[in-house]
Amino acid sequence: MTMHLEELHQLADDRRRELEGFAHHILVCTSLGCPKNKEIIAAFRQALTNSEAGEKVLVRKVGCMGLCAAGPVVLILPEEIYYQKVAPGDAAEIVSALGREPVQRLLLPSDLPFFTRQYKNVLALFGRIDPESLEDYLAAGGYEAAVTTITRMRPTEVIRSIDKSGLRGRGGAGYPTGLKWSTVAKAQGKKKYVVCNADEGDPGAFMDRAILESTPHALLEGILIAAYAVGADCAYIYVRAEYPLAVRRLKRAIREALRANLLGTAICGSAFSLTIQIRLGAGAFVCGEETALIASVEGGRGVPRPRPPYPAEKGLWGRPTLINNVETLANVPGIIQRGADWFAGLGTEKSKGTKVFALTGTINNAGLIEVPMGMTLREIVEEIGGGIPGGHTFKAVQTGGPSGGCIPAEHLDTPVSYENLSALGSIMGSGGMIVMDETTSMVDIVTYFMAFSMEESCGKCVPCRVGTAQMHTLLKKFQTRTAIDDDLTTLESLCHLVRNTSLCGLGQSAPNPVLSTLNYFRPEYLERITGPVDPCRQEEKQ
């Protein structure tokens, strides 16, 4: 079967008309964060069979609506009424209120800053479409960008457009995406690969999981455009096995796209072909590092190798390979559709567009958000996040997970960008933001992250393998208040060694939590230098 743009539009129109036939839509979040969603959907269906208006109402399962703290969330369309913490027992009441006064006790005001202050590109279709329905995605304008690209644009035009948009890698390092694409496109060799890094591993980060679970087709569309641009006919999605729902939806999406000839050979009648395969990772954090990821896709041990050569030149099976993170690729269809200038018009001078953050920790509105780059941390934490619960005060926000740092209250007015965060001793990372209040001990947090890095070190290079273990031992001494003066000096010099000599990014960034807290919260370390118990003095006392 060959699909042309017209047929695509036909399918989309059909689905739109079908959806318009219903007076109300009940959208139920079915992401991992909203429990009991199956029971809730069943309860709604049951309630509708008992209601006269039943046939005019459509219950749809959708992806993440963002405000996980209020979950399970239900959205009523076209009224745009959000209900929070919905239980199966509430279904009948919500159904009977359709078209009338909403159920006040469950109401989640839609004019909250959480909703109004966000600006969505990647999350635009989150909570609006059924992740397991290609038609839903098409009806929302999906694949329009990919088909236009493949059938009407030259690869160089696509790359120029991405370059002009200013998009940078959302996996953490912030490498200019357009530059990466053009390097792979120019690389020697007929066989090239695209690899999507969906090995999200930072504690507290779940942006990629949400994308895979909520709009899997958007990722496939991004991969399609990327593969066309760099000249690859084979793509891999490396996703961790701990995301079973994401894997299931992704597999389904690939099957749907294949059936519609949006993947496979001669896509939409063009000369372009692409297969996408899924590779499951066993959850090793280091496999998020691109060379380790490649080794793992090839079936080897997931350990990094020295760069250069970079994957763009010699990647998967020695071929030029484009590796992009999920969120980076999910940004692409929007850029193609709305234009590079639109994207470049958002954000700061060097950090363009929007960024998805996973807001967690001691914060009222924990969940998934998307904001333009350049929004201040204060706006994110206090307005969108709704501040700190329980009368506590803000102490620090941790960004970038085990590779990032802790940013204290005095820097809350910093606009979020790659440059600003690294100037503060942290990193953008993949977008995890862990908010901490005054009861949190920085030494505890850092010890936790160091334990994580130590556990996840692959063990190949000495500074990371032994350095993280020794840093952890030193931090434990601070935690148990048995540290001595020299320990602080040793810890700091060890941080510099591990940062400057480790083989890959895991080791190079593992000291960041320590260095940033030593910078902003040094007294917390100093007050724990009390030395070990001296047995001689003890005997004297007795």
Query: What does the binding site for another protein look like in residue numbers (CB under 8 A)?
Result: 284, 286, 301, 305-306, 454-463, 465-470, 473, 490, 493-494, 497, 500-503, 534-536, 539
Quick one: 46 or 470, whose CB is closer to another protein? 470
Quick one: 131 or 302, whose CB is closer to another protein? 302
- Specify whether the backbone of 415 is left (phi greater than 0), alpha (psi in -120 to 50) or beta: beta
Quick one: 173 or 278, whose CB is closer to another protein? 173
* 80 sits in which H/E element: none
Q: Give me the least distance between CB of 17 and another protein, in Å please.
A: 54
DSSP-based three-state secondary structure for 497: helix
Quick one: 167 or 286, whose CB is closer to another protein? 286
Any idea what DSSP says for residue 73? P
Cα–Cα distance measured from residue 290 to residue 424, given in angstroms and rounded to the nearest whole number? 26
- Alpha carbon separation from 27 to 66, 83, 102, 126, 513 (Å, rounded): 13, 10, 15, 11, 40
Cα–Cα distance measured from residue 536 to residue 515, given in angstroms and rounded to the nearest whole number? 35
Cα–Cα distance measured from residue 304 to residue 319, given in angstroms and rounded to the nearest whole number? 17
Q: Give me the least distance between CB of 176 and another protein, in Å please.
A: 19
Give me the long-range contacts of 337-343 (CB less than 8 A, separation at least 24): 337/141, 337/144, 337/145, 338/121, 339/161, 340/161, 340/162, 340/163, 340/164, 340/165, 340/166, 341/164, 343/121, 343/165, 343/166, 343/167
Q: Give me the least distance between CB of 202 and another protein, in Å please.
A: 17
Quick one: 473 or 480, whose CB is closer to another protein? 473
Instruction: For residue 396, give both structure tokens.
Output: 């620090």
Q: Give me the least distance between CB of 509 and another protein, in Å please.
A: 12
- Alpha carbon separation from 296 to 84, 220, 458, 521 (Å, rounded): 41, 21, 12, 38
Quick one: 290 or 456, whose CB is closer to another protein? 456
Q: Give me the least distance between CB of 532 and another protein, in Å please.
A: 8
> Which residue is associated with the tokens 């503060």?
424
Q: Give me the least distance between CB of 187 and another protein, in Å please.
A: 18
Q: Give me the least distance between CB of 322 and another protein, in Å please.
A: 23
Q: Give me the least distance between CB of 279 and another protein, in Å please.
A: 19
Cα–Cα distance measured from residue 433 to residue 266, given in angstroms and rounded to the nearest whole number? 42
Quick one: 101 or 540, whose CB is closer to another protein? 540
* 161 sits in which H/E element: helix 155-165
Quick one: 80 or 539, whose CB is closer to another protein? 539
Instruction: For residue 407, give both structure tokens.
Output: 């940013």
Q: Give me the least distance between CB of 426 and another protein, in Å please.
A: 18
DSSP-based three-state secondary structure for 324: strand
Quick one: 99 or 283, whose CB is closer to another protein? 283
Q: Cβ neighbours of residue 163 under 8 Å, at least 6 residues apart?
A: 176, 177, 178, 179, 181, 182, 340
